Structure 1
């Protein structure tokens, strides 16, 4: 918000105040409005007849006789009607003598480097209250032209705040809707959420199936990364294996079915050593229903080979091994 020095009366303003001291109705000092501008003051304020660069006019909202010839004039304004935002540097007070008098610049102040900024009307700004005190002298021959439409009272603010349609235009702009109904706002919010979700998940539209598919895809990807990090591997087949990884002490489970009437030496799916074998077993599963041999034990021939021992070589046998 801008910081303004005390208002300086112009030569015309001093003359009008002196005239008001006559007490005549025709000489009454009547404040009418202020002009807000963005001009840079360089000359003698006493000689000013207007603000340097006018951007907005504000009519009088209220005035009060403070006694001893002092009057307080109140103006209220926002950025309604401002098409282009500007730095608020200037305040010019205008008045006239009598109802039929000529309106003139009677007081002026400039914020200089302490200007504030007033946005254009597309960005809603709250009301600002501007109060200017003027000493008219030892007389009550002063008044103001109050614009009732520019007056904002507490009662009006309460009514405004309690009005459910008070900010229709703002809501329409925010949600890009021609109407500001509950359903239109809900629809806009839902559409925005769908667009945001679709963007986050990288899908064409935020349907339930698309999201479920994307979540499933992401979950499988993360599970595979997790499994790989832990060293978990598997091959679920007739001759397969499961390596349980770090969570289970790197235990390896292997199994298979083997058929060779000449020997019982098999090649394992994963390399092991004899010292790491925890359990191994085989059984004769010859398919003619007449098992030929009973299982006796095993020998590890190489890191990836194991011979299962029978008292008679079976046609077919199944085996199972747990190791590290």
Structure 2
């Protein structure tokens, strides 16, 4: 946009950044919004929200932290627009959460920064049959930028730049890891602790745990079982116990082997993991990881506005990312239209000629 080059902090924004600089909280950017009505920058600075009724939320799709600079990456489309939309106002909302891992709210969500454009860009109406996607990068100078966070819009359109940033972000899947392991903060120590707890519940407590009752040997074992009259609650360091432990470890190692087939299917029976390594494939992580399924695939499309793709495995879709494979220059940015029917998903695009598109989906059974 011609004049929308800087963002001015509101009083709420100055208070939030001051507390972040002193280490009292971290900044969590919650949403971004644009407005069409004419006003002034001075008026916006004293408001709790943008001015007027013609407002539109931007999709926050990613972020990037570099030293003392934090960049919010947003996208906006003309989906559902019946009239042209002039981007005169822009507002950023954020809140302050504690940095102790508990995410206690220190400051509530407020309008923390605004910008106003007297020579605005325009988003064309969808009625002109022109697919439109615009990426807007919003940067802030902020101390403790590495601790700042965003709330991602799950339905947002992503560009190739956003997807690359996502793949390179070591914190990209922290919420998924939190859910799988049941932890508040993703750290190496927390994950190790959860794995140790699980191991103590399902395996012999060789690392200092205690065991009550009799040892149940696997089928075919020639090691003698303690008699029913033996009511002791601990295992003594006898030769047969040492032999049994060695046999148990050997049996466990055998069960962890991965079985593969010529058509690309594979499985690990001990962990309940199955999959298909192919152009259109999947990995089912099993009950150990909450029955999560990762699926991917490709599809050809020629002279069409959309394509419906069938997933390799029928499952409930949690999150999907479409992307352009061919990059021929005649494909507009791709978007999901939320049309998810059973195990089929539809991608909206505008194709002149032939093109190859793909998708990545996270599902659950």
TM-score relative to the length of structure 1: 0.45
Richer in helix (by share): 1
Richer in strand (by share): 2
TM-score relative to the length of structure 2: 0.40
